[in-house]
Amino acid sequence: MERYVLVRIHGRVQGVGFRAWVHHQAELRGLKGWVRNRRDSSVEALFAGSSTAIDGMLHACREGPRGSKVDR
């Protein structure tokens, strides 16, 4: 069964390659969806796939790539 999750990530997540990193991490996990920068300096993403893959992706998003700082 496919699961869908919409997330918004706040912190230092623009100008550090966060969006491209999320896209790559989602592909590695076999997830579908999209990711975009928002005007309020957050990043928003929709993930679709297995619960296991989405849980792994959510955990990864809490850490982020080098140079980022996820507040919430």
The residues assigned a catalytic role are: 19, 37
Query: 3-class SS at 40?
Result: coil
Distance CA 14, CA 32 (A): 22
Dihedral class, residue 30 (left if φ above 0, else alpha if ψ from -120 to 50, else beta):
left
